[in-house]
Structure 1
Amino acid sequence: MTSKVYGEERRQQILQLLKTSPVPQTGSGLAKKMNVSRQVIVQDISLLKAKSEPIIATSQGYIYMQSQTPAKNAERLIACLHSPEQTAEEMRVIVDHGAAIKDVSVEHPVYGDLTASIMVHNRKEVAEFIEKITSSQSFYLSQLTEGVHMHTIAADSESVLDDVCQALNDKGFLIKDE
């Protein structure tokens, strides 16, 4: 778009773009299309979420959660512990065994549970996630809790999740019941 799009019209266009896009849309990309700042897009997304639009922010960008999206049949919350340098390896173990990483969460002493959507399904997305953390000079949520964190992982079957947990355990990443 060459001219600035205003208010509700812009939010409706953003919503339409998200609903029809097969890939996540970045805030910067949406800002360019609407000829506004990324901060305006962040505010628009917040307003759309406040109207109960099922938009989530992932490490790849914004996505609209389509109800017809085929869901994985099994989910599991796993507790992990490792150094920041081992994050890519942990994520690759999960996706290489056929599971998706939906989110990461930590228990913060002041804020309580903090959860961030990740939505990583393959090695390419793992690499992109790690690159975004590195290039933005951000840190992993697990660094707030000395490496302790949880992931919601999803797969087509419980046996795939069992395989992921065994592989993570073999690497020493899984926190086990003692």
Structure 2
Amino acid sequence: MSDQTKMASVSRQKLIITLLKDASSPITGSEFAKKTNVSRQVIVQDISILKAKNEPIVATSQGYIYLNSEKEDNLHQKVVVCNHSPDQTLEELYLIVDHGVTVKDVKVEHAVYGDLTASIRVSNRKEVEQFVKKIKETKASYLASLTGGIHLHTLEADSISKIEAACKDLKKAGIMI
């Protein structure tokens, strides 16, 4: 943070919404913090407040995005069940995104917490590499490690044939159940 005046919370939250709606790629909390002269933690709180007000903001490994329901209405989705070791994550995600398919999320069924879902939103190899790198750098575990490798993904594409092609390759690789 610099010595500039901090932006008031209401103004900051309006700016966050405006920037997210106009963005063509995710925006990180650090980027918002620089623009508004507050800490990243303040931005995290602002995002939580906006989500509580039903703003369709999603946190991804690349940053925050604003879900445009009009855009999503034109997309096909399919939930697939996969099972693999953590070492096969990169292969799995590449097989999917190489077909022009987005991996929207990952879901596991936890014995105590029930269904756990995390937004991934990777659409190309660069985003996959950033996601896997962030997992390694933070020493985080993949959600699938909670279930012995079994997990679900919501796949999204502009045509069902792209999703079907990705599924065919996942089956061939022994990843999709």
Q: How does 1:117-132 map to 2 (within 5 A)?
A: 117-132=119-134
User: Who is 1:66 aligned against?
Assistant: 68
How many residues were matched structurally?
Answer: 175
User: Who is 1:149 aligned against?
Assistant: 151
Structure 1 residues 66 and 74, CA gap change in structure 2 (3 angstroms):
closer
User: Who is 2:140 aligned against?
Assistant: 138
The one-letter code of the counterpart of 2:71 is T
CA distance in 2, matches of 1:10, 1:70: 27
**Off by >4 Å, runs of 4+ in structure 1:** none
TM-score by length of 2: 0.92
Match of 1:26 among 11, 25, 28: 28
String of CA shifts for 1:11-67, please: whole Å, max 9, x gaps.
112112212222111112111222222111111101111111111111111011123
Structure 1 residues 21 and 73, CA gap change in structure 2 (3 angstroms):
closer
Deviation at 1:166, TM superposition (A): 1.2
User: Who is 1:87 aligned against?
Assistant: 89
User: Who is 2:44 aligned against?
Assistant: 42
User: Who is 2:172 aligned against?
Assistant: 170
CA RMSD of aligned residues (A): 1.5
Percent of counterpart pairs with the same letter? 54
The one-letter code of the counterpart of 1:60 is Q
Match of 1:97 among 99, 104, 122: 99
Stretches of structure 2 lacking an aligned partner (at least 5 in a row): none
Stretches of structure 1 lacking an aligned partner (at least 5 in a row): none
The one-letter code of the counterpart of 2:79 is L
String of CA shifts for 1:81-112, please: whole Å, max 9, x gaps.
00111101000000112211010000011110
Deviation at 1:71, TM superposition (A): 4.7
Query: Secondary structure of 1:69's partner?
Result: helix
CA distance in 1, matches of 2:22, 2:160: 31
The one-letter code of the counterpart of 1:3 is T
CA distance in 2, matches of 1:94, 1:3: 45
